[in-house]
Amino acid sequence: MSSRRRFLQNIGAGLIPFTLGFTPDSFGWSLGNIPEEKTLRVALMGLGSYANRVADAMKDAKRAKVVGVISGTPAKITDWQKRFSIPDKNCYNYENFDAIKDNGDIDAVYIITPNALHHEQCLRVAAAGKHVICEKPMAINAKEGQEMVDACEKAGVKLLIGYRMRFEANTLEIIKRREAGDFGDIKFFQGLSGFKIGDPNQWRLDPKLAGGGAMMDIGIYAINGTRYMVGEEPIWVTAQEVKTDPEKFKEGVDETITFQLGFESGVVASCLSTYSMGNLDRFFLNGTEGFAELQPATGYGPIRSATHKGRLDLPHETHQTTQMDEMAKIILDGKMPKVPVDGKDGVKDMKIIDAIYKAAASGTREEINLS
């Protein structure tokens, strides 16, 4: 049989079902049978500067969308409704947002409020049956963090922490190379995190709202970096606090803390957290066969990176866009991220922060138990 004849017969056979009234759907051939990727519909709680950054970044997200807002300022809600076409029924204040449980248009709430408010707000969102994304730090201590984890588990919803750097390309590439043995046995890590804080009246300098100072806001990046760059969990810490401006940095608000973390393998990390110095955004990982560096390491980008083999400087993508797309996959698809961002991992950071504060106050080495 000629190739031409076989071709015509195959075409004819393919047309028979359609002449008999069948459609591709009848045989499961339609693209309609391929499940569409769902979009994570998010309400933002707290409409400050960072919420604006997140919302603007989500305009480019493929799997996440801003569909609701929660705020104590009516004027902000009105403005956001215009900017993001948010209907009245998806707008709430801090008193009535429990009613979100009856809103089928919202899947998750991203809490971007002062640190001390996270705990109560998370518990209320979980009770309403919505997934929780909580900005870091997740709470003001490990006890509150664990209660948040427990509440979300009881409600059957996910709790994720806004650790944007755990999805950043340069960071993940260095982790990949460390795991491949490119740097040999890891021996040392340095994490420098700090900036000069401005307005003395902002909530970050109010211990009742912040639950601390620089450690909560910027030092947590050095803690994060130590854990995912070294690839181990610390078992002890020593710390020293310095305060040069007690009027600005009141009791309960740390200005500068240096801290040292130790690991079972013998690795030592030397870190700094401060609100009074700039040009401090650097991670340095050193091993027996090489090194890796990120500088800037945690800013909004672009992140600059290098190893002993040369520069990396992978292309910059807006961190919050990537974060929200990846978190949508975690919540909707059950995807497991390379570096955990769940509430249980957030509690580990809070345990370390608790230990750092204790070590700074006592002047002695404090043991860390993250199990």
For tokens 């690839």, what's the residue? 231
The DSSP-derived string for 29-77 is: -SGGGSPPPP-EEEEEE--SHHHHHHHHHHTT-SSEEEEEEE-S-HHHH
8 A C-beta contact, residue 292 and residue 229: yes
- 136 classed as catalytic: yes
Enclosing H/E stretch for 271: strand 268-274
Indicate which residue of 130, 136, 158, 329 is catalytic.
136
DSSP 342: B
Residues in the chain: 371
User: By the 8 A CB rule, do 173 and 312 touch?
Assistant: yes
- Euclidean distance between CA atoms 337 and 156, whole angstroms: 20
Q: Which amino acid is residue 368, in one-letter code?
A: I
List the catalytic residue out of 92, 110, 221, 228.
Answer: 221
- Does 110 participate in catalysis according to the annotation? no
SS3 277: strand
The residues assigned a catalytic role are: 136, 221
